[in-house]
Structure 1
């Protein structure tokens, strides 16, 4: 009789839920630990009359995670953006709101992704292609998909791929009706139906010895604490002021303001999903990236300048407001000379695997979490089975797997059974 592989997953955000489902579908017995009372991680949607996410959220359909979710009927109803609302996107340039971007920025979109070099910064490369005006406008616009204060300083290949996806027509961005929790709740239900044991309110301070592999699906800071202060578990991310605002409805409010003079984005999420706020009110969310020397107050002041332009009289109409700063919680960004393959590897050796939005997996924003969760689960199940065939799991674990050093940066060995993640 074959014994089921036993897999432990720490963290029930998008990466952890994806890993747990993937492992359970492979026949493993999975226990999923989450320190909060509810699963979802940064994909949780707040309860109450104003259903906010942790910063602006959208689900892009250009990556393999979309197919993965759709195959399991986990996407659910989407909130389409009416064409009349999409036409209300405004671009802040030279102190004014405009309807169209600089022509040079549009010319840049014609450059294919492979034309953008890994080793050069985006601003230098794009300036050589279309001039500085178009290059800076493009760098600031793409901050909506980066949450970084200086996108022009990042790898040209990294930024340009995201610029093309963020501006693609028809748009790749889609909005789950009711907020992101609607997706994570379906993922949790699917995991339960597969037999995953989910322990909420369960803080894990040390790797459990459960007789099987462990997938750490947390932030890199939390993973570093769990894995003996492993200093290699670091990667650049963003630091961003998040502003949530509810205002009484007023005709002709814009749908969104993209700042082309400096990175920043304000979006009216009830334009596509009125259920996110009470009747007669609009929910506005913004993300304003912060430089190292800037404070939350600087980001708030930036948001207010954009609100003054796109939402006249917003102060008198405000019914609710919240501000915060997200530090290192906005996904990985790649510096010149690096790609996703250089980020912390998924296979940590000795039966430990890493998943999350800052690890060695491709994709845009949350796609990294999905892709790394699938890869971590696939490797963990294979490791558990290999450990049993070679003797006891304990013997395999203490013998160690090393770090297989696959050229994809994930630690895969090129076995045909592992996933090919070069899709995003």
Structure 2
């Protein structure tokens, strides 16, 4: 029997909708294709000039891909990222996250294209198709930056090491380059930027904090006040002071307009891992999950060092051990080692090889709580 694919419900439903809508879109475009016409599907994808009479497209257009390359990437993103986040958060929280990071970037992109049309009077801005999982893909990268901010990803056999919070901006740069090709429309860059801002804002200020499993109290806290999830952490070290200054002024303005609420003392205590409070983010810095992960990484490193020491000591003892007396007298030879020395040398080489290969048993952890490989500043 083939292995059963175990997917959580929200991830499974999103994948089915993505595949069904993308295949339907491809079938419609195939039947209506002509050499001198550009096919649009206003009742399935969002087009500013044509889709106002189909309001559901503001949500469904996110799960429509126009070619096999972007469809493959979208399916892999939903399969792995959705499954991870649904198990880390819950099905309900992932569903809310998908709706927010799909609907709001589409609305903001729609407004941006209409504004560009009003400024330039070029009708092509209102005929741009807004579709694709780009907002979801960058939102998943932002969510991973919150859950595992201290982890690094090593590429090209160690030539390049990047912390997880570096990937959202790299993704925006990649989308900007692909927008210069026929693969992506000009709306894709707006979707990537708005997806980054919306997902970070939702996770920073509005997502509910999960209660500790050892506590019977219900959680009323929201957001993530930790310093490792500040928006400046997504940028390289030299520009962080500028980003911090701008973001602080914007936040103070939003607070004055009563659009945002400052973090309470309880939120800050949770972010710092204060043990007097019984709430924590699942996987957030300072939480029980992050602490357990840090301890596992340290234990793994200590165990690896002990394995090196044990194999080295065993090799030393085998080398210094006396050779047991032979039953029969050795046969003299004019050249080459004696009969007794051959097993001893073979045993020594095997033990030395075991000591040299011990490092491959457990490997090295990528957890780096005190620093990162690509940070240029404090």
Q: TM-score, normalised by structure 1?
A: 0.22
Identify which of structures 1 and 2 has the higher relative contact order when contacts are C-alpha pairs closer than 8 Å and 6+ apart. Answer: 1
Q: Which one has the largest radius of gyration?
A: 2
Higher relative strand content? 1
Higher relative helix content? 2
Q: TM-score, normalised by structure 2?
A: 0.24
